[in-house]
Structure 1
Amino acid sequence: MTTTGTAPLGTGQEAPPYRWRWVALFIILAAEVMDLLDAVVTNIASPTIRVELGGSAATIQWLGAAYTLSMAVGLITGGRLGDIFGRKRMFLIGAAGFTVGSLLCALAQGPELLVAARVVQGLFGAVMLPQGLGMIKEMFPPKEMQAAFGMFGPVMGLSSVGGPILAGWLIDADYFGTGWRMIFLINLPLGLAAVFAGLRYLPESRSPHPLKLDFVGVLLASLAGLLIIFPLVQGREHDWPLWSFLMMGASVVVFAIFGWFESRKNRAGGDPLVVPSLFRKRAFTGGLITGLVFFSAMIGFTLVFNLYTQIGLGYSTLKAGLSMAPWSLGMVLGFGIAQPLQKYGRKLLHGGTILMGVGTLAILVTLNLAGIGVTPWQLVPALLLTGVGMGLLMAPFFDIILAGVEDHETGSASGTLTAVQQLGSAFGVALLGTVFFGLLGGGVATAADDVTPKLRSDLAAVQVTGAPQDQIVTGMRACVHDRAVAKDPAEVPASCTRLEADARAAATSPESGVAIQKAVATAGTQSGKEGFGHAMKTILWVVEAMLLLTFLAAFLLPKHAREGEAAGAH
C-alpha cells in the first residue's frame, strides 16, 4: 500500500496526511547526518589512521575515494531499488548495512580492510539515502512539503560545521582507548536507532510504475570510474608505469561504451540507467561539467588542507577540525544570504565562484605572510570568505540544472547529478592528493636548501666544520626528502639513520652533541613545514584554475531556472 497525502478517497475527499510523518522525517534526517559525517571525518582522521594502521600515502586518498566512488555508483540505481522493492524496506536494508559497514571500519586491523569497509559503507549508503526523497513526497501534503525539505538545510549546515570538530574531538579524547575508531563507532547508536524507529514509523511506499534495473549500465559505470580513479591514486607510488596511462585511456573507452549501451537500450524501449535525452540539454550537460570540476576542486582541497595542517604544521586533530569550522560556517551563511537572491540565477552562481576565487587567493596570501607559524585564527577571514562563496554558488546550482528537465527525466537526472557530485569528490581526492604528495619531496628538499645557511652557522658555533659539516648538511637534506616521500611513515629511512651516525661522530663533547642534535632537528622540522607549505600553495593555484574552469563552464547553464524568474529579475 502506498502512503500519500493527496490520494483521493471515494467521497472525493483527499486522504489524510500520514500520521507519523514528522517522526519519519527525523529518521530520514538521521540517515543524512550519518552520511554527511562519514563523508568528511576521514579527511580529519586519515593522518592518525595511517600512523596506527600503516599504509602508503595512497591509503589516505582511498579512505575518502573508496566511499565516494562506491556511493556514486550505487546512487544511480539506489532509487530504483526503492521503487521496485519498497522504499521502507530498502531504507532499512541500507541503514542496517551502513551500520555494519561502520562497525567493520572500527574493527579494521589493516588499511586494506578499512578501505574495503568504506566501500561497504558507500554502497549501503547509496541504497539508504535516495529512499527519503520518495517517502517525503508521499507523506507530506503540498502545504507542508517546503517545511519538510527546509529541514535539510540546517541539518546539512550543522553537520558540515560540526563533523570535522566532532571527529577531531573524538580522536583527541581517545574514549576507552578507541582513538580514531570512535568516529565510526558513533554511527552504531545512530544506525540502530534509525533501523528500529524506521520499522515502527516509516510508511510503506513504492512506485506504481517502477523502472527496471540496468545491471550492465551499473557495471560499465563502475568500471569506468574505477579505471580513472585507481591509476590516479596508485600511479605516483609506482613512478607512473605504462599500465596507469593505459587504464586512464581505457576509462574513456568504457565511458563511451556506456553511452552507446544506454542509447541502444533506450531505443529498444528499455529503462536505461541514464536517459540519453538528458545529454541533448545544454543546461544538464553544462551542469555535469560544472559540478564535476567544482566538487573535484572543493573536496580535494579539504583533504589536502587537513594533511597540511596536521602533518605539515603539526596541528592536533581537534585543532585541525576547528581550523575548518570557518569554511563550513561560511557555507551556511552563504546559503542563507542566497535565499532572497535566487532570482539572479546564474549571476548568483558566478558571484559565488568569484568570491571563492578571492577567498582562495586570501588563503594563499595568509600563508605567505604568516609562514610556518600560521595559526587557525589567522586563517579565519580567508576560509570564511571562501565558504560564503561556496554557499552562494551551491544555492541555485541544482535548481538551475533540474528546472529544464522533463518530468519523465527527473529521476534519472537527479540520480545522475548526485552521482557525478560523488564521482567528482572521488576524482578530486585522487587528483589533488596525488599532486600534493608528488610535490612534497621536491618542496621539502628546496626548503632544506633554504635553511642550510642557518644550519651551517649553528654547526660552526660548536666547531663542526669542513667535511663533517658537509656530511651533516647533505644528510639532513636527504633525510627530510626521504621522510616526505616514504611509503611507510613508521619506517626510518636509511638516510636518516646515516645522518644520526654522522651527527654523533661530529660531536667532540656531550654538550656539543646535544647542540648538533638540536640544530639538525630544528633544520629538519623547519624544512618539513616549509616543504608542506610550498606544496599547499601550489595546490591553491590548482584550485584557482579549477574555479576558473567552473566559472567558464557555468556559462553553459541557463541564466535562470525558470522563465518567471527572468521577468522578476527585471
Structure 2
Amino acid sequence: MSTTGVASAETPTDSPAPYRWRWAALFVILAAEVMDLLDAVVTNIAGPSMRADLGGGASTLQWLAAAYTLSMAVGLVTGGRLGDIHGRRNMFLVGAAGFTVGSLLCAVSVSPAMLIGARVVQGLFGAVMLPQGLGMIKEMFPPKESQKAFGMFGPVMGLSAVSGPILAGWLVDADYFGTGWRMIFLINLPLGAAALLGAVRYLPKTRSESKPRLDIPGMLLVSLAALLLIFPLVQGREYDWPAWTFVMMAASVAVFAVFALYEARRSRAGLDPLVVISLFRKRGFSGGMILGLVFFSAMQGFMLVFNLYTQIGLGYSPLKAGLVMVPWSGGMIVGFGLAQAVTRFGRTVLQGGALVMALGVFAVWLTLDLAGSGVGPWQLLPSLLVTGIGMGLLMAPFFDIVLASVEQHETGSASGTMTAVQQLGGAFGVAILGTVFFGLLGGGIATAVDHHSDGLRRQLTAAHVAPAAQDRVVADLRTCASDRAVAKDPAATPASCVTLEKDTRSVITSPQDGARIPAALRSTATSAFKGGFGSVMKTVLWIVDGMLVLTFLLAFLLPRRARDEESAGH
C-alpha cells in the first residue's frame, strides 16, 4: 500500500482551496490498493488448483506469491520517483493499465512459467501504480482532513486481507463459466477498467515545476539491494536457510551503503537523486520508517501464523478461516472511527492504538490458554475485535504524521520509500515469525504426542499390542506427526509416516484390532496437532506483543502532531 501525489493544475500549491474531487479520487486510490492486496493473498488459496491444472512442483506454489512480492519490492522506490518525473496521475494510469494486462496474462496462462512471469508483470506495474497514492492524498486534502483520508487505508487493508481468501475460495469453488482459478485474475479486469476510468475522471493532473531526471545508476543499485534482501527473506525458510541466504542479506547491506553514498554524492553535485537524502534528516519521516518496519513486520507475521494455526492446526476451511478474521476487520473500522474523534491528540492516538492492539493479542493468547485445542470462532471474536480496534487507532494517524513534513519535490521519493518499507516489513515478519513458528512446531507437536501417549498406550493395550511394540508405534507416531506438520510439500508423505504405517500393520493381529488401532492413532495425532499448534501459536503471540510494545516506544521518535510538522515544513 502506498501513496504519492502532486497538486492539481487547477489547484495551485500556494492556494488553500482543497481539490474539488478529492474524495472521489481517494476511492480510486483505494481501489488500486484493494487490487494489490487481493492479488497478494489469493494465490495462497488458489495455488493448489493452479498446480493441479498447470502442473509444476511444490516450489511453484511458493513462486506464485514470491514472484509478485519480489518484483513489486524491487520496483517501488523507482516507481515513486517516476511520479515526480512524469506526473503521478500519468504513472498511476500506466501502472493500473499494466497491472490489468498482467492480470489478463495470469488468467490465460498455460504453464507455470507463464503464470509466474505474468505475476512478475503484475508486481512491476503495481510498483508503478501504488506509490502515486499517498502523495496525491497529501496534496489534495487540507490538513484538517488528511488524517481521515490517510486513516482509510487501515480498514481497507484489513477488509482486503480478510476478504481475499474468502473471495478466492468462493471463485475457485464456484467455477464460473468453467474458469476455475482463472476467475481470481479475470475479476481484476472490470476492477482495473473502473480504476482507469476513475483515474481519468477524478485524479488531479500533475506537473512538476522542475522536472527531475531519472537516476538510472541509483535505480539499478537500489533494485539490486532490494532483491538481495527480499529474495532470501521470502524464500529462505523454504530452503532451510542455507549459508547463501545470509550472504545475500549481508551483500544487500553493502549495496545499500554504496547506494546511500552515491545518492549523497549525486545530491552534492546538484543532480537529481532517486531518493532525496533530505528526507532522512526529518525526524517524522525517518522515525516513521523505523516504526513502520517493526509494525508491518508484526502485523503481517501475525496474520500469516494465525492463518496457519486456524487452517492447519484447527482444520478450518479457507472460507471459515477468513470469516474468523472478520472481527479483526470490523475492529479496524471501529478504531478508525474512534481515531477521527480524537485527532487532536496526534501521536498519542497512535501509541494508544499500539497498546490496545497489544492488549488484543494478549487476549488471543489468554483465549487459547483457557479454551485449549477446542477453541472456536466465537471464543476468538472479542480478542480479535480488540486487536482490530488497536490497529485502526494506530494506522489512522500514521501516514499523516510521517508524511506531514515532506515537501512536494520529495513526495515521490517518500512515497516509494514508505511503500518499500511496508513490503520489507511484511517480508521480515513472514520470514521471522514464520521461521520461529515452523522451527518450534515440530517439537511442539512431538511434545503434544508425549502428553497423549498414556491414553494411546491404554488403547493399544486393549488391542493386545505388546509393550515393546507400543513403544515403537508411539515413537513412530511422534516422528510422523512432527514431520508432517513441517513438511514443505503437504501432498507428500514423509518417510516416517510410511514407517508408522508399516509398524502399525505389523502389530495388528485381528480384523477388530485392524480398525481400533488406526482409529486410536488418528485420534491421538489430531489431538496432538491441535495441542502442538496451539502451544507454538501462544509462543509467537508473545513475540508479536513484544514487537507492538517496541512500536509504542518507537513512536516517541515521531512529532507529537502532524500539523506541527506541517508548519515546520512550510
Q: Could you say whether these structures have the same fold, taking a TM-score greater than 0.5 normalized by the shorter chain as the test? A: yes
Partner of 1:5 in structure 2? Answer: 10
Match of 1:216 in 2: 217
Which stretch shifts more, 68-77 or 482-491? 68-77
Q: Is the 8 A contact 1:86 1:206 kept in 2?
A: yes
- Secondary structure of the structure 2 residue equivalent to 1:269: coil
Deviation at 1:382, TM superposition (A): 0.6
In the alignment, structure 1 residue 378 sits paired with structure 2 residue 383: no
Alpha-carbon distance in structure 1 between the residues aligned to 2:280 and 2:203: 36
Q: Distance in 1 between matches of 2:264 and 2:328?
A: 41
Offset at residue 527 of structure 1 (A) = 2.0
CA deviation after TM superposition for structure 1 residue 233, in Å: 4.0
Superposed displacement of residue 44, structure 1: 5.3
Does the Cα contact within 8 Å between 2:40 and 2:68 map onto a contact in 1? yes
Offset at 1:242? 2.5
Query: Aligned to 1:212, what secondary structure does the other structure show?
Result: coil
One-letter amino acid of the counterpart of residue 455, structure 1? L
- Give, in angstroms, the shift of residue 492 of structure 1: 1.3
Structure 2: where are the runs of 5+ without partners? 1-6
Deviation string, structure 1 residues 432-478 (Cα, Å, up to 9, x no partner)? 22222222222222222222111111111111122322222121112
Conserved 8 A contact 2:98-2:122: yes
Structure 1 residues 295, 217: closer, same or farther in 2, change over 3 A? same
Query: Contact (CA 8 Å) 2:135, 2:411: kept in 1 or not?
Result: no
Q: Find the aligned partners of 2:379 and 2:537 in 1 and give their Cα distance.
A: 16
Amino acid at match of 1:284: F
Q: Which amino acid aligns with 2:263?
A: E
TM-score by length of 2: 0.86
Aligned residue in 1 for 2:167: 166
Q: How does 1:139-150 map to 2 (within 5 A)?
A: 149=149
The match for 1:471 is 472
Greater shift after overlay, 435-444 or 290-299?
435-444
CA distance in structure 2 between the partners assigned to 1:84 and 1:410 by the alignment: 11
Tell whether the 8 Å contact from 1:65 to 1:427 is kept in structure 2 after alignment.
no
Question: Aligned pair 1:123/2:128, yes or no?
Answer: no
| Whole-angstrom CA distance in 1 between matches of 2:394 and 2:537 | 24
- Which residue does 1:490 correspond to in 2? 491
CA contact (8 A) 2:234 2:427 kept: no
Check 1:362–1:235 CA distance in 2 against 1; reply closer, same or farther (3 A cut): same
SS at match of 1:562: helix
Tell me by how many angstroms 1:506 deviates. 1.5
Q: What does 1:159-558 correspond to in 2, within 5 Å?
A: 159=160, 162-176=163-177, 178-195=179-196, 205-558=206-559
Distance 2:238 2:16 in 1: 63
* Contact kept in structure 2, 1:92 and 1:198, CA below 8 Å: yes
Between the aligned residues of both structures, percent identity stands at 66
Residues 64 and 551 (structure 1), Cα distance of their counterparts in 2 relative to 1, 3 Å cut: farther
- What SS class does the counterpart of residue 67 from structure 1 fall into? helix
* Alignment check: 8 A CA contact 2:296 2:422 kept: yes
Letter in 1 for 2:342: L
Distance 1:16 1:483 in 2: 58
- Report if aligned partners of 1:65, 1:425 keep a CA contact under 8 Å in 2: no
- Counterparts of 1:196 and 1:400 in 2: how far apart (Å)? 31
Is the alpha carbon distance of 1:425 and 1:109 closer, same or farther for their aligned partners in structure 2, counting shifts above 3 Å?
farther
For 2:550, give the aligned amino acid.
Answer: L
CA contact (8 A) 1:287 1:557 kept: yes
Distance 1:378 1:16 in 2: 46
- Counterpart CA distance in 2 for 1:184 and 1:228 is 28
Task: Using the TM superposition, name which of 503-512 and 295-304 deviates more.
Answer: 503-512
- CA distance in 2 between counterparts of 1:467 and 1:174 reads 52
CA–CA distance in 1 between the matches of 2:28 and 2:126?
14
What is the distance in 1 between the residues matched to 2:283 and 2:147? 32
Q: Deviations over 1:152-185 (max 9, x none)?
A: 5676665455444333433444445655543333
TM-fit CA distance, 1:74: 2.5
Structure 1 residue aligned with 2:4? none
- The change in CA–CA distance for 1:500 and 1:244 in structure 2 (over 3 A counts) is same
Structure 2 distance, partners of 1:471, 1:484, is 20
Give the C-alpha shift of residue 81 in structure 1. Answer: 2.6
Distance 1:183 1:464, change over 3 A: same
The whole-number CA distance in structure 1 between the counterparts of 2:483 and 2:558 is 47
Match of 1:101 in 2: 102
Letter in 1 for 2:454: P
Give aligned pairs, total. 558
- Give the CA deviation at 1:387: 0.7
Amino acid at match of 2:521: V
Q: CA deviation at 1:63?
A: 5.1
Query: Does the aligned pair in 2 maintain the 1:4–1:15 contact within 8 Å?
Result: no
- Alignment partners' CA distance in 2, 1:467 and 1:198: 73
Q: Give distance in 2, aligned partners of 1:402 and 1:135.
A: 11
Q: 1:134 & 1:399 partners in 2: Cα distance?
A: 10
- Deviation string 1:285-338 (CA, Å, 9 cap, x unpaired) is 211111100001101111121111112211111101111111111111111100
When structure 1 is superposed on structure 2, of 40-49 and 363-372 the one drifting more is 40-49
Q: Identify the range of structure 1 (146-155 vs 390-399) with the bigger mean alpha-carbon deviation.
A: 146-155
- 1:25/1:148 contact within 8 Å kept: no
Farther off after superposition, 307-316 or 153-162: 153-162
Distance 1:401 1:23 in 2: 24
Shift of 1:274: 1.6
Counterpart residue number, 1:38: 39
Cα distance 1:351–1:26, how it changes in 2: closer, same or farther (>3 A)? Answer: closer
**Is the 2:285–2:403 contact (alpha carbons within 8 Å) kept by the matching residues of 1?**
yes
Q: Does the aligned pair in 2 maintain the 1:65–1:429 contact within 8 Å?
A: no
CA gap of 1:90–1:303, structure 2 versus 1, over 3 A, is same
3-state SS in 2 of match to 1:492 = coil
Deviates more, 1:341-350 or 1:379-388: 341-350
Q: Select between 225-234 and 395-404 the one with higher mean Cα deviation.
A: 225-234
Q: Secondary structure at the match of 2:562?
A: coil
Specify whether residues 288 and 195 from structure 1 end up closer, same or farther in structure 2 by C-alpha distance, changes over 3 A only: closer
Moved more, 358-367 or 412-421: 412-421
Q: How far, CA to CA, are the matches of 1:124 and 1:380 in structure 2?
A: 37
Q: Which amino acid aligns with 2:278?
A: S
Cα drift, residue 216 of structure 1: 2.3
SS at match of 1:518: helix
> What SS is found at the alignment partner of 1:464?
coil
C-alpha distance in structure 1 between counterparts of 2:56 and 2:374, whole Å: 28
Amino acid at match of 2:221: L
Distance 1:275 1:308, change over 3 A: same
Please list the CA deviations of residues 368-420 of structure 1 after superposition, one character each: whole Å capped at 9, or x if unmatched.
Answer: 12222211111111111011111111111122222233454344223322221
**Counterpart Cα distance in 2 of 1:423 and 1:6:** 35
Q: Which amino acid aligns with 1:468?
A: A
| Deviation per residue, 1:241-264 (Å, 9 max, x gap) | 322222222222122112111111
Shift of 1:236: 3.8
Partner of 2:74: 73
Distance 1:471-1:432 versus aligned 2 partners, 3 A rule:
same
Q: 1:292 to 1:512 in 2, by over 3 A?
A: same
Alignment check: 8 A CA contact 1:233 1:434 kept: no
User: Alpha-carbon deviation of 1:531?
Assistant: 2.3
Bigger drift between 405-414 and 129-138 goes to 129-138
Distance 1:76 1:123 in 2: 11
Contact 1:399 1:561 in 2 (8 A): yes
SS at match of 2:130: helix
Structure 1 residue 104 displacement after superposition? 4.0
- Comparing 28-37 with 100-109, greater Cα deviation is found at 100-109
Partner Cα separation in structure 1 for residue 318 and residue 496 of structure 2: 29
